[in-house]
Amino acid sequence: MTADLFSPTKLGSIALKNRIAMAPLTRNRAGQGNVPQLINAEYYAQRASAGLLITEATPISATAHGYPATPGIHDSEQVEGWKQVTAAVHAKGGKIVLQLWHVGRISHPSLQPGHALPVAPSAIKPAGQAFTYEGLQDFVTPRALSIEELPGIVADYARATQNALDAGFDGVEVHAANGYLLDQFLRDGTNHRTDEYGGSMENRTRLLLEVTKAVVEVAGADRVGVRISPLNPFNDISDSNPQALFNHVADSLNPFGLAYLHVVEGGMGGDNLPAFDFAALRRHFHGSYIANLGYDKAKGNAAIASGHADVVAYGALYIANPDLVARFQQDAPLNAPDHATFYGGDAKGYTDYPTLQG
């Protein structure tokens, strides 16, 4: 029988009741101290009919933050806050993994401990503005990380992974996409280093592989995924040869035996993107593959039936449709997302979207 979005599957050791995932979605609704709140638990539990929930990107350390009110995973109060979320999701029969995040240069001194400069592979200022508690402010030129600091970054990922497991998550996803720190190391537009973490594709991939190894040693490869975005120009990022680079990334991740590779198949807010063969990338990665960006029900079913994807992740549709699985099953109309309430605020546009049952 041909598989479809509603077929069960496994990603590593994580058993999924269907192949519909909720993509990681920053919503800026954490409480004081970047601690998850009861409303966050309600939000995720409403969407627990998904085969897999991937949390909003979650900073691994105090210096990893780049936006207001994003929930962290680096202190005990945050772990306790996340326990409410995982318990609520598991009570509804859902599976949930936490996305591990370091924003790198996409931050601002006002969001950093001691008003320090954000860090990056190289001291290259991104175009654009940072979202801060004081409103939009121009990005600053970041401080290039010294080679001696990189083991500390890797250790932060490992510590955050243990915190996530302590909070009850079914696994973790390493965020190496969308112009944040690990992506900044991967791409030659942002990585101008001349040491063993810069220059060749092998060198630029080194930090991602070190982080993945450390995370796998804590959680087990069967509970670890990695997210990449080969074409996404978001956060002023680019590479001169993305196909070669990300084919190499996929090849380099294969030996870990990861639960999955999660791929953003396009760009957010970018035009005139270079050609990219995602089918070729899929062939380079030998494990399970989550496809993301621009999928609807028909395209999702086609991707699974053809073998291109094992799971399909949905973003904005999940913001507006907590019961997306049921709506897809019944071919029911979909709620339209309210873009004005995506980032920050209260229950409006967060936990108040109607379901088919009212």
Give the Cα separation of 335 and 323 in Å (integer).
Answer: 10
pLDDT for 314-326, tens place per residue?
A: 999 999 999 999 9
Average pLDDT (233-243) is 95
> What is the reported pTM?
0.98
DSSP state of 250: H
Average pLDDT (302-323) is 98
Give residue 270's pLDDT. 61
pLDDT for 137-161, tens place per residue?
A: 999 999 999 999 999 999 999 999 9
Instruction: Give the up-direction half-sphere exposure of residue 329: CA atoms within 13 A in the CB hemisphere.
Output: 12
Closest CA to 58 of 32, 87, 35: 35
Reported as a pLDDT band with limits 50, 70 and 90, residue 27 is: very high
Reported as a pLDDT band with limits 50, 70 and 90, residue 273 is: confident
Give the Cα separation of 48 and 42 in Å (integer).
Answer: 10
180 included as an active-site residue = yes
Any idea where the domains of the chain sit in the sequence? 9-341
Give residue 124's pLDDT. 98
Q: What is the mean pLDDT of the chain?
A: 97
Give the Cα separation of 51 and 320 in Å (integer).
Answer: 17
Both tokens of 110, joined, read 């006002």
Catalytic position from the list 44, 180, 318, 353: 180
Helix, strand, coil percent values for the chain (each to nearest 5)? 35, 15, 45
Give residue 269's pLDDT. 67
Q: Is pLDDT at 329 greater than 90 in this prediction?
A: yes
Average pLDDT (162-175) is 98
Give the Cα separation of 248 and 228 in Å (integer).
Answer: 12
Q: Which fold has domain 9-341?
A: TIM Barrel (3.20.20)
